[in-house]
Structure 1
Amino acid sequence: MKPENPLTIGIDIDGTVTEPSSIVPLMNESFGKQLRYEDCIDYNLATVYGISDEVFADWLDKHGERLYDVAPVHGAADRVLRQWYKRHKLVYISAREARHLEVTIKWFSRYQIPYHHMDLIGSHDKLAAARKWQVDLFLEDRLENALQLAEALSIPVFLFDTPYNQGTLPRLVQRVTSWEQVDALVDQLALEKANA
């Protein structure tokens, strides 16, 4: 049975569905650092680790597959997404490259996280993909993405609170601290849509 007023939910993967801190141990291991997740106050980890963007891009190129395979689930993401799948359309829009589709699908399967569409765009600019899928809202951890999506599409964006995305937020971007909180907010949006 199809829900009467489903939402099309755009969802980032890394730092949103996966635990935001999962990259830190791998970066520490590779670069001989002992940084904590709380030390990562800039989304650009090259800046945090004192390396060039090229060195970081090369590191991600070599270690991306391992990172995407070992990342733990972020809080109750798996449980909430399984519930949403029955009522809403789940579209994952990620900066991961298309070549990582297989490891991504295996990870989703391992944790029994459902999806309707998986769009690995290989870029942080998610605007075209969000437009293509006509998302009603977006879940994100990168501040710049959240601001761009909310402004350009006039949709609500739920920004998962992290050390690297602090700052003033406009009306349509709401900071959230758990998947349970997002679940309640999505229920509220679905109800508003039904009553509109």
Structure 2
Amino acid sequence: MKCFNICIDIDGTITDPYCWLDMANKYFKKNISIEEITQYRVDEVMGVTRSEYVDFYNKNKFELHSGKEPIRKDVKKTIQKLIKTNNIYFVTAREKDLEILTYHYLNKHNIPYDGVFMLGTSYKVDTAIDLKCDVFIEDCYENALQLSTSGFKTLLIDTNYNRFPLNEKITRVFNWTDIYNILEKMLLQKKVI
């Protein structure tokens, strides 16, 4: 029997969180640096309207999620270790039309999983409830708050755009080694109880 149900976001969590920047800079004729990305929403970062961003995203989403996005360090080996004793579910705001590209990306990088959920919305609480999530790994501060205030232990992987105050259910992590160590400690505590 598996120990934990671990839910993991994809974009910015297993992928490089800034991989969209070059394309957005070119499209909007900007020169924004990684250090300037202090908000999650690309429209706010780029100083454009929400509809201008939506237009950019709709025109470029297949290229943005084409599988070329760099993967964060240690994601593959960490998830390969975790899946031996835990259920791994990817829960993403990506829309259904990105499903084939998403599976291709995970398989290309040999990232194992028990399920992939393409929500088409950033609201992940209901899916976390359905999956009986024990821990959610996320990069979006607003999502982390929403999940944590709904009772879910959340590991927020550090980025320039999520450095805001945390509540007691959110733990900031800096890499996938941190994530693994925290989950191992939780597992040991569970075995003691």
**When the two structures are superposed, what TM-score results if normalisation uses the length of structure 2?**
0.96
Please tell me whether the aligned partners of residues 11 and 138 of structure 1 are also in contact (alpha carbons under 8 angstroms). yes
Aligned to 2:133: 135
The answer to whether 1:56 aligns with 2:53 is yes
Q: Is the 8 A contact 1:19 1:75 kept in 2?
A: no
Q: Post-superposition, which runs of at least 4 consecutive aligned residues in structure 1 deviate over 6 A?
A: none
The residue that corresponds to 1:81 in the other structure is 79
What secondary structure does 2:178 align onto? Answer: helix
> Post-superposition shift, 1:173?
0.3
Counterpart code for 2:181? A
**2:41 maps to which residue?**
44
Cα deviations by residue, 1:82-140 (Å, 9 ceiling, x for unpaired): 11111110011101001100000001111111111100101111111111111001000
**What is the identity percentage for the equivalent residue pairs of Structure 1 and Structure 2?**
27
Residue type of the alignment partner of 1:148:
Q
Residue deviations 1:35-61 (CA, integer Å, cap 9, x gap): 111111111110111111111112111
Instruction: Give the whole-Å Cα distance in 2 for the aligned partners of 1:34 and 1:112.
Output: 34
Equivalent residue number for residue 157 of structure 2:
160
Q: Which runs of 5+ in 1 are unaligned?
A: none
Q: Identify the structure with the greater helix proportion.
A: 1
Q: Alpha-carbon deviation of 1:195?
A: 2.0
Which residue matches 2:106? Answer: 108
Q: Distance in 1 between matches of 2:15 and 2:92?
A: 12
Aligned to 1:93, the other structure's residue is in SS state strand
Aligned mates of 1:33, 1:172 — CA distance in 2: 37
Report the 3-state secondary structure (helix = DSSP H, G, I; strand = E; otherwise coil) of the residue aligned with 2:19. Answer: helix
Matched, 1:68 2:43: no
Q: What is the CA RMSD across the aligned residues, in angstroms?
A: 1.1
Q: For the residues of structure 1 that align with 2:55 and 2:159, how far apart are their CA atoms?
A: 25
Match of 2:120 in 1: 122
SS of the aligned residue for 2:166 comes to coil
1:150 aligns with: 148
- Structure 2 residues without counterparts, runs of 5 or longer: none
Helix, strand or coil for the counterpart of 1:189? Answer: helix
- State yes or no: 1:10 paired with 2:7: yes
What number of residue pairs does the alignment pair up? 192
TM-fit CA distance, 1:22: 0.7
User: Could you tell me how far apart the structure 1 residues matched to 2:114 and 2:31 are?
Assistant: 39
Q: Distance in 2 between matches of 1:64 and 1:115?
A: 23
Match of 1:96 among 87, 94, 97: 94
For residue 21 of structure 1, give the secondary structure of its aligned residue in structure 2.
coil
What's the TM-score once normalised by structure 1's chain length?
0.94
